[in-house]
Amino acid sequence: MTQAPAATAPATLFDKLWQAHEITRRADGASLLWVDRHLVHEGSHHAFAKLAARGAPVAEPQLTYAVVDHYAPTRGRDAIPAGDIRRMIETLGQNAHRHGLRLFGLRDPDQGIVHVVGPEQGLTLPGFTVNCGDSHTSTHGAFGALAFGIGATEVAHVLATQTIWQMRPKTMRITVVGQLGPAVGAKDLALHWIARLGADGARGHAIEYAGPAVRALSMEGRMTLCNLSIEGGARLGMVAPDDTTFAYLKGRPFAPAGADWARAVALWARLPSDDGAQFDREVEIDASDIAPTVTWGTSPEEALPITGHVPNPAQLPPARAARASEALDYMGLSAGQALQGVAVDQVFIGSCTNGRIEDLRLAAKVLQGRRAKVPGLVAPGSALVKAQAEAEGLDRIFTQAGLDWVEAGCSMCVGMNGDLVAPGKRCASSTNRNFKGRQGRGARTHLMSPAMVAAAAITGTLCDVRPLLEGRV
């Protein structure tokens, strides 16, 4: 008599992907994972140097893609002066050519920020492992991919072997119930949960975002949410693939086509977490509790609704009081000060967090027919986003409002390409990090959604975007 097979325990999306990619496991518990997509940029030069020192080739050049983004000038690309910027860009090009990698270079019509290019090209697919030497690689988890940033030594290991050693993280599910309110989006949701749980609140966990409010997000919104996962300490963030995912991917250059597409969708549809799957931690958030949110300090966890007031360090626990006091001193804010009305010197719309077409459309709705009171920069996330925005006339709305419309790249998010915030100046920014000096030495950064940045441009202050969008959305 044949014994019936034991029932398989319900598995999470993360469980399924980890198991599918685990090659072997060491005695210390580390797993060797196969890497489906490896993305490199200018900062990967250390890893290529390690390969060159050993005379080693790239193991699977057809699975590695090179993108110019961090150092990409947003102006004057035809005459980049000698220096670090040109050297870094040229070095990536030389390494890509030497190893036969597809390069999205400065003059490529598909160039852009690596975490924008990957999804829009269909390089990022459900069920894949995606690695890049950049912490915001978690963006790609929006497609139901196992995506996380890695260090220079790990980049070299992936280049040489197409594998990576990783300790398995714990799992966390953040379920967002209800519906987000008007002018409240994925950026506000992300800053809300990070402020609630803290910058270390998800330390050592792989997050799966779930619930009706997450399902209602576009792919752009899901990418924003997953992008910011690491700002709450998570190793990565994920959203299970669904019809929204499939509709976004269909027809993308590197996505499956024809009969392969139908087979792929059938496989992807089996990836979502099973009913009854167990997570190490469960968190529930009510979407109706979330308002347009801005940061007041020097960490993404130091965020509040725009209607809030800067906290008083004296009223905080001792462990947080010293940090809050230091942050307020750096940011030039006072305890108890209302966030609304804080004057800004300039604005920035862009980055791998919020430089996609949906972000630009909403910012343009705020700005249309209005004039900015402060200067600002709008950098699309890719050349394709730029072309689409120009076809829709969004560029004219930005320039007529008084903002600069520039080429695609990381730009003022990290300031490696020369786009900087001057010392002591305050910037309303749609980026992902606000630590000291992130946008330039002494720069004061307030993180918020692109719509909120547009509102700050119009008023010259931190303000609530909701009245400015009435009748426009």
Domains and CATH numbers, the chain: 14-283 (3.30.499.10), 293-469 (3.30.499.10)
pLDDT above 60 for 2: no
Q: Is the dihedral of CA 226, 429, 460, 341 positive or negative?
A: positive
pLDDT category of residue 81 using cuts at 50, 70 and 90: very high
Interhelix angle 45-54/84-99, rounded to 10 degrees, is 50
Structure tokens at 413: 């998010």
> How far is it, in rounded angstroms, from Cα 376 to Cα 346?
5
Residues 6 or more apart from 24 whose CB is under 8 A from it?
A: 31, 32
What are the angstrom distances between the C-alpha of 58 and each of 32, 54, 104, 105, 288?
18, 11, 18, 19, 49
What pLDDT, in 10s, does the model give residues 236-248?
999 999 999 999 9
pLDDT above 80 for 29: yes
pLDDT above 90 for 194: yes
> How far is it, in rounded angstroms, from Cα 150 to Cα 446?
27
Residues pairing with 285 in the sheet: 176
Closest CA to 139 of 362, 381, 415, 383: 381
Average pLDDT over residues 134-139: 97
> How far is it, in rounded angstroms, from Cα 53 to Cα 46?
11
In whole angstroms, what separates CA 295 from the centre of its chain? Answer: 17
pLDDT category of residue 1 using cuts at 50, 70 and 90: very low
Question: What is the chain's Cα-based Rg?
Answer: 22
pLDDT at 415: 86
pLDDT above 50 for 5: no
> How far is it, in rounded angstroms, from Cα 36 to Cα 20?
11
Average pLDDT over residues 73-85: 92
Structure tokens at 429: 């920014």
pLDDT at 97: 98
> How far is it, in rounded angstroms, from Cα 388 to Cα 410?
18
Which has the higher per-residue pLDDT, 1 or 361?
361
Sheet of 236-239: strand order equals: 236-239, 205-210, 170-177, 281-286
In this structure, how many other beta carbons lie within 10 angstroms of the beta carbon of residue 85?
18
> How far is it, in rounded angstroms, from Cα 142 to Cα 126?
9
Residue whose entry in the numeric block shows the structure tokens 């518990």: 29
pTM summary value:
0.96
Structure tokens at 298: 């020097």
Decide: 447 and 347 in contact? Cβ < 8 Å. Answer: no
In whole angstroms, what separates CA 19 from the centre of its chain? Answer: 25
> How far is it, in rounded angstroms, from Cα 350 to Cα 443?
17
pLDDT category of residue 357 using cuts at 50, 70 and 90: very high
Count of residues making up the chain: 473
pLDDT above 70 for 4: no
Average pLDDT over residues 195-224: 97
Residues pairing with 209 in the sheet: 174, 239
pLDDT at 319: 83
> How far is it, in rounded angstroms, from Cα 312 to Cα 435?
20
> How far is it, in rounded angstroms, from Cα 427 to Cα 344?
6
Three-state DSSP class for residue 305:
strand
Burial class (CB in 10 A: 0-12, 13-18, 19+), 389: buried
Q: Give the count of alpha carbons within 13 A of 118, CB side only.
A: 35
Residue whose entry in the numeric block shows the structure tokens 């997050």: 207
Closest CA to 85 of 72, 97, 76, 103: 72
